[in-house]
Amino acid sequence: MTKYVGILTAGGDSPGLNAAIRGVGKAALGLGMNIIGFRDGFRGLMNNRTIRLDSEQLSGILTVGGTILGTSRDKPHKMPVGDRVMDMTDVMVDTYERHHLDALVCLGGGGTQKNAYRLMKKGLNIITLPKTIDNDVAMTDATFGFDTALGIATEAIDRLHSTAHSHHRIIVVEIMGHNTGWLALGSGIAGGADVILIPEIPYDVEVVAKAIRQRSRGGSRFSIVAVSEGAVSLPVAEKIETLIALKAAAKSSDEKSEAKAAIKALKREHSDNTWKLSRELEALTGLESRVTILGHVQRGGIPSAVDRLLGTRLGTACAELIQEEVFGVMVASQGETAVPVPLDKVVGNRKSVPLDHPWIKTARQVGTCLGDEV
């Protein structure tokens, strides 16, 4: 009997999405399935905005960045509709049933995994694929999008070396990664950054300034500081930990809401942290400091060979799992194999950089300052 499969991409765009769509689509078509794409993430599922993914639509997209389906950050249970925010989960279930789908494939990061899990709990046959440049999805060795972003960030650091050297400056370069340091740590090591600051290791600005002053006294009158957008100083980290503890200990919903609001306010205050860090280092070292924020350039462009391969490999494995009627899983990359991992083991978990990770050891061994006194 012919199987009918829906597919959508949600969350931020990422290199390798089209490779994964193509991998799922071509393998599924080869198994005799029909593929329907939903435009713009879960909103397209709600609005029943579809595109038939046949061989013609899947042709030529392997090397294209972004996603041919479009994407959004809308959540099924908190969907803006007019001037209201509504739970549209049941509407999405109706769309699924209207198309007589046997499975829905959701490509995305941590938020998408959660939203897909909510639909799974409503009875839908769900399979997800891990996508994000942050590389922070649990239970998978890698997410497609990360390798491309790593290359872009590394090239940016490479280019910043010449201007930092020419003007004897500190260049503080902000790298994406949300609340994990994979991207900043990897590109910082590969690009030869002198200081790397990541969320997993709260930094002491005095330690960073000391490392830069030592470089200056040794004749290196410039420094590259690679800072993850989620990196925090020790005082801020302590405040966040205190508020999280208060939230956990709260006995009433009002107390929880207050603690949650305080955490959000602190994070908003922290949003210009890279600029603040640059000013502090300039004052502490006497060296001119400049900021470069890479931003969304890290998401764009042609996907790397690694991301094309990973997206294709996980996509084809996804089609096989649908054929075998294995649902409620994320297709994870573990070693050279694609492994179905139960979604409930993925949702609510984040893959942070372990403090004993070889990359951290490597950074320290080549003399890179990580913002802590070691």
State the Cα–Cα distance between residues 278 and 294, nearest whole angstrom: 15
CA–CA–CA angle 256, 261, 262 (5° rounding): 100
Catalytic residue among 102, 134, 136, 194: 134
Number of alpha carbons in the 13 Å side-chain half-sphere of residue 123: 7
The maximal CA–CA distance of the chain, rounded, in angstroms, is 74
Q: At what angle do helices 273-285 and 205-217 cross, to 10 degrees?
A: 50
Tokens 């941590």, residue located: 110
Signed CA dihedral, 280, 284, 290, 296: sign only = negative
- Tell me how far CA of residue 151 lies from CA of 190, 311, 353, in angstroms: 9, 17, 19
State the Cα torsion 90-104-306-180 to the nearest 10°. Answer: 30
356 noted as active-site residue: no
| Residue numbers annotated as active site | 134
